Chains A and B, each alone.
Chain A
C-alpha cells in the first residue's frame, strides 16, 4: 500500500545550520509529493511540492527533489532561522486523490 516515512525527531539545530529531513515513500503508481509545515496551534500549510520525477520544489529557502529511483523527497535548507521552528510533514497524493502524511518531524532552531 501507500505510505510515507520520515526521520524521527525532534531535531535541534543552531541558527544558520544546514537542515536535512529525510522522507521516503511507498506507492503504486506515481504520486505527487509535498512538504507541509505546522506552527504551534495552527493547521498545516503547504511548504513546497513536486508532481513528477526529478522535479524540485522550493519555497522560503527550502528545497526537495522528487527521486523516483530512491523513492525519496528529502527536505533541505542551507541556513535555518529561529522562525523555522515547527513540525514538518512529508505527504503523498495518490492517483485517486488520497493524501497520506508521514508522522512529522519537529524542528527546534536555537539562537
Chain B
C-alpha cells in the first residue's frame, strides 16, 4: 500500500514566486494535515482537514498561505508570494478515523526561497 505521497520533494524558487506543494493521502484516511518544520520553530501544525473540510487553520502563518482539499485523494498548500522566511520542510500527513489510530507522514517537501 502506498504511503502519503508529496511533491515536489525539493524546490528552489525566487522570492515573490508562487509555490504549490501537493499531497496525496493514504487511501481511506479521512484526516489530512500540513506541518512545517524549521530549526527555529520545530514542527508546526499549519492546517488540518477532516473529510475534505478544513477544521483548524489557526496555524497558517498569514494570508500568503492557503490550503485546499478538493477531494479525498488530493490536497495543495500554496504560498503566494513566497519569502525567504518560508524556507522549510513541509510535511503532509494523513490519519484514518478511530481513537487509537496513528498519523502517517509523507517524506516532506524541502522548500528554499532565495
Contact = CB atoms under 8 A, between A and B. Distances in A.
B99 A103 contact: no
A44 B89 CA distance: 12
A98 B54 CA distance: 12
**Could you tell me the dominant secondary structure of chain B's interface residues?**
strand
Given A89-B43, A98-B55, A98-B56, A43 B106 contact: yes
Contacts of A91: 103
B99 A101 contact: no
B71 interface: no
B55 A43 contact: no
B50 A44 contact: no
B105 A100 contact: no
Interface string A19-56: 00000000000001010000000111110010100000
A97 B103 CA distance: 10
Given A51-B99, A96-B55, A97-B50, A43 B105 contact: yes
Contacts of A32: 99-100
Interface of B: 31, 33, 35, 42-43, 45, 48, 50, 55-56, 91, 93, 95, 97, 99-100, 102-108
